[in-house]
A and B are shown apart, each in its own frame.
Chain A
């Protein structure tokens, strides 16, 4: 069956798929995403790279377009109507994000460029201010470079020790080693809620509780969890949490740092300039209140408003339903892939503890070649080390192939992936 035939068949049974229970009607959702209807290489794209960045629904595009057309002026300083309208929408977006992740107040939501900038903000502001030579930072072997390199650089600069929670052969964090790794010198613990390679959903509670018991602060990199499953920072009791807007239907250039109020208040600014000061005199500046203290310069407020619209869209679907939908597709993908001769799944094979990320290798086929061949069939997957080189070193792999799913993916797209893999094997005579 060609992809086009597969789509046509799916068109016919539209509504039947996912009609049951808690899962989503991906077919109806797709109608909100103009890019998914557009041909790529002459074919309807099977887009399986949302873990890198998601596509955007018209609701998000319209929300931003509406600001530029009708309510655009710089926020905070204007006393005229346009500026006040833009400021009100910006504040509203912050409140939406706060509610979305269960933050006690909107003031605890700092808008950044992305999760990477949020984590760098912590390394610069918290790390350089509160950590002393000899202190220890504990991260894990499965981190994305964004939650790896800032701590590596900080450790080198400040004479800190960077330690790693190891992974088990199944690709889960080995928490048996946790008590040994946490010492009185451990001041910061930072880990990915969901691995962008292994897909592993790490239970944050035992790590956070045990880190707090020895007085360490905990950062959660939620880049791969906030877009895909219910996340509540108050239940989690993390000290900080970071994520990117562009992976959750929002635009590029907007991300979020959540922090406990007393910590954000104690931290010095990251960047300095306008908007982040309350007054500047010749003898020195006085910092603005949180979160504005961390938002120097004109912020990406149109993008923040776009993120607010994305949060509305996700909330209307329900994060539990989104998780259930992705679990169903992931379970099917793991099952189909395990039948392909030479395919090896990287990470947990239990969909209960795996997010919508299916990473694999194919015997004697380099992931780059596989991704190129799949692209010819209109199937978009990612190949490489997915910005997690230390993890790949640990796994003894130079590169892997990754298919990832989101709200708009349908089960038959997994069939398209599998069929394209067989075709690639045939083309390379494997």
Chain B
């Protein structure tokens, strides 16, 4: 019955990976979920160039429920080292798969806040460059 708060989720919440702020990040973006007040900021450092930009490092800070913070931690663990264009295409289901427990509709929004911040940040960065 406590499947929502399985060990690996609590672990990501208690010991978040890639937690913090990156100075002189290439991408910095923050959003909050207006319904519950969950807030996440993500910084991304890129390397490579042109079509081959890659996420060299990423970090997040925020506050909110276990699901939102743990999902952000799992997401960043997953995307560091990956090509930017690939990350920009990540589907919500991918994050839900990373979280790996069934979520009710209201909690899906919590889990996806980090992805929303990351993808919007990437989009804004691309817009700035064109």
Contacts and interface: CB of A to CB of B under 8 A. Distances in A.
Say whether A associates with B.
yes
Interface of A: 366-369, 372-373, 375-376, 383-385, 389, 392, 398-399, 427-429
B39 A368 contact: no
- The listed residue with most B CB atoms (<10 A of its CB), out of A366, A385, A389, is A366
B110 interface: yes
Interface in B33-67: 35-39, 63-67
Interface string B1-30: 110110000100000000000000000000
B10 A428 contact: yes
Nearest to B103: A372
B1 A376 contact: yes
Contact of A384 (B2, B10, B35, B66): B35
A31 to B, nearest CB: 29
B110 to A, nearest CB: 6
A369 B5 contact: yes
Contact of A399 (B10, B36, B67, B104): B36
A367 B65 CA distance: 7
B104 A383 contact: no
17 contacts: A367-B36, A368-B38, A368-B67, A368-B110, A369-B5, A369-B66, A369-B67, A372-B4, A376-B1, A376-B2, A384-B36, A385-B37, A392-B37, A398-B39, A398-B63, A398-B64, A428-B66
Contacts of A375: 104
Interface of B: 1-2, 4-5, 10, 35-39, 63-67, 104, 107, 110
A330 to B, nearest CB: 25
Given A398-B63, A428-B10, A429-B10, A368 B4 contact: no
B35 A366 contact: no
Given A367-B36, A368-B65, 18 more contacts: A368-B36, A368-B67, A368-B107, A368-B110, A369-B67, A372-B4, A372-B67, A372-B107, A373-B5, A375-B104, A376-B1, A383-B36, A384-B37, A385-B37, A398-B37, A398-B39, A398-B63, A398-B64
A372 B38 CA distance: 15
B35 A372 contact: no
A73 to B, nearest CB: 38
